[in-house]
Amino acid sequence: MACERWAGKLDVYLDGELDRAAATALGAHLPGCAACAADALGRVRMKHSVQMAGKRYAASDQLRARIANSIAAQPRRGPGGYWKILALPAVGVLIVLVAVNLYVGRERGRRQRVYSELTDLHVAALASTTPVDVVSTDRHTVKPWFQGKIPFTFNLPELRGSEFTLRGGRVTYLAQTPGAHLIYQERKHEISVFIFQDRGDQTAGGPSGPAPALSFSMENWKQNGLRYFVVGDVGAEDIRALSKLLREAR
């Protein structure tokens, strides 16, 4: 059972509706409270189950196309051929607008699902008693650990002189794609770094740059065939600072 103070706020936190100050406090509370961590982890798993069920029954592109074609093929009654001639271009424009809106909505929904899944993975790691499988602050220990476990390699930055500390890493999955999940610490906050092979729609997260996702800050970019995501309940400037180190890693 979660602490009385936070029991009624876990769902709001996971849905991204908790104000930043409270979200930061709860994020700092989770790693040290087994009851709240277990409750949060259970809710994250429930969200994943609901998301997977929703995807199972999503309308296919073929069904949407058949509906659009059926609407376009229906005879339109009018006072005469003159009005039909005027109406045809309008119908064509309407169909184009519907198709564009469907595409935009689908892309927005896909990006939001990617952001939601990554923040769920971030919260689940913080709530776990073993957030990383390889525990080390040494990038030369963490990077080789992933060899043979994921189908790509990556570089980690030198953190000396920065406010960030590497805690370790683990293997994770996004859209059935294996990747690296690294956890960095900045003061009392944890930041997740996810790295996947760039596989188009399956791992794309929208344009590079800061992006709000639930109660967290996020930045994503593509580099050398890999897709990077940086997620945390810290300020956008901290996310940008860690992202810059990762981009410049050699």
Q: What is the pLDDT of residues 100-154, one digit of tens each?
A: 343 334 444 556 788 888 888 998 888 888 889 999 999 999 999 999 999 999 9
When pLDDT is averaged across residues 243-247 and rounded to a whole number, the result is 95
Burial of 182 (0-12, 13-18, 19+ CB in 10 A): buried
List the chain domain ranges: 107-247
Least confident piece of the model among 48-52, 184-188, 236-240: 48-52
Per-residue tokens: 104? 């935009």
Whether the model clears a pTM of 0.75, i.e. scores above it, the answer is: no
Q: Quote the pLDDT of residue 78.
A: 54
From residue 128, how far is each of 124, 131, 140, 153, 157 by CA, in Å? 6, 5, 25, 26, 26
Superfamily of domain 107-247: MucB/RseB, C-terminal domain (3.30.200.100)
Q: What is the pLDDT of residues 172-197, one digit of tens each?
A: 998 888 999 999 999 889 999 999 99
Q: What is the pLDDT of residues 13-47, one digit of tens each?
A: 777 777 777 877 877 787 778 788 778 778 777 77
